[in-house]
């Protein structure tokens, strides 16, 4: 009994040390990413780095769905694009401030994702992928056929950057960069938290054994 208890205690200690090491590694990675974000606009063109961060956040969200949920979605760009259209349209035509336009775009994308998810979630494998592809194509053709809203093939041009909270002008590329970098870090931390939450563990369990 003593040997068994000692073995279990040693295993528990080793597991705790492994968890501590993993947590320390993740913290160091976050610090390194934050440091790179601080340096980036001074060594590269800020607009280019902003585009990289936007698509990096898109990739992180796609990885959450496929890598941890096991769901191959070809419709991921529909939410990304719809949020962009709504934010740009409301900022240009309704005169919304940047923060309100971003929040409204996010809300519309979330609503679209809820509707698409309700239609596709009961399917598995290739059927799920094909349904999401079909729904994404609907959004694509809507975007082309609604030029008053989306600008058609040209997109929405001359979107005003405005002032964040009515205080910080985003006309300067670096000021806009800091906003994009903050949104990226918030999205990264949120996805990390989801992955390591009970919900994230359930998603991984479903991915590994969906019938059960």
Q: Do 31 and 58 belong to one domain?
A: no
Q: How confident is the model at residue 106 (pLDDT cuts 50, 70, 90)?
A: very high
Q: Do 78 and 124 belong to one domain?
A: yes
Q: Do 63 and 90 belong to one domain?
A: yes
Average pLDDT over residues 172-180: 90
Please give the pLDDT value at position 10. Answer: 47
Q: Do 76 and 155 belong to one domain?
A: yes
Q: Could you tell me the residue range of the domain that residue 88 belongs to?
A: 48-208
**Contact 69/203 with Cβ under 8 angstroms?**
yes
How far apart are alpha carbons 9 and 25 in whole angstroms? 24
Q: Do 13 and 83 belong to one domain?
A: no
Higher pLDDT, residue 174 or 205: 174
Helix, coil or strand: residue 42:
helix
Between helix 76-89 and helix 98-120 the angle, nearest 10°, is: 150
Average pLDDT over residues 105-122: 89
Domain count, the chain: 2
Q: Do 33 and 69 belong to one domain?
A: no
Average pLDDT over residues 158-176: 86
Q: Do 19 and 76 belong to one domain?
A: no
Q: Do 166 and 197 belong to one domain?
A: yes
Q: Do 94 and 4 belong to one domain?
A: no
Q: Is 88 exposed, middle or buried (0-12, 13-18, 19+ CB in 10 A)?
A: buried
* 15-71 pLDDT tens trace: 445 666 777 888 888 899 999 999 999 988 999 999 999 999 999 988 888 888 888
């Amino acid at each position: 009994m003593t040997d068994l208890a000692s073995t279990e205690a040693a295993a528990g200690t080793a597991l705790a040390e492994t968890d501590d090491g993993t947590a320390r590694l993740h913290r160091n990675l976050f610090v390194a990413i934050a440091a790179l974000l601080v340096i980036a606009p001074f060594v590269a063109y800020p607009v280019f780095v902003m585009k990289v961060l936007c698509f990096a956040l898109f990739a992180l969200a796609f990885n959450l769905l496929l890598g941890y949920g096991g769901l191959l979605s070809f419709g991921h760009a529909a939410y990304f694009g719809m949020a962009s259209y709504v934010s740009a349209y409301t900022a240009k035509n309704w005169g919304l401030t940047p923060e309100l336009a971003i929040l409204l775009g996010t809300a519309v994308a979330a609503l679209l994702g809820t509707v698409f998810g309700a239609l596709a979630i009961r399917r598995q494998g290739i059927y799920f992928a094909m349904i999401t592809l079909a729904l994404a194509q609907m959004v694509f053709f809507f975007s082309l056929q609604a030029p008053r809203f989306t600008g058609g093939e040209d997109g929405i041009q001359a979107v005003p950057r405005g002032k964040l909270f009515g205080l910080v002008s985003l006309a300067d590329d670096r000021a806009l960069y800091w906003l994009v970098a903050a949104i990226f870090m918030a999205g990264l931390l949120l996805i990390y938290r989801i992955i390591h939450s009970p919900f994230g563990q359930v998603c991984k369990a479903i991915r590994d054994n969906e019938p059960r």
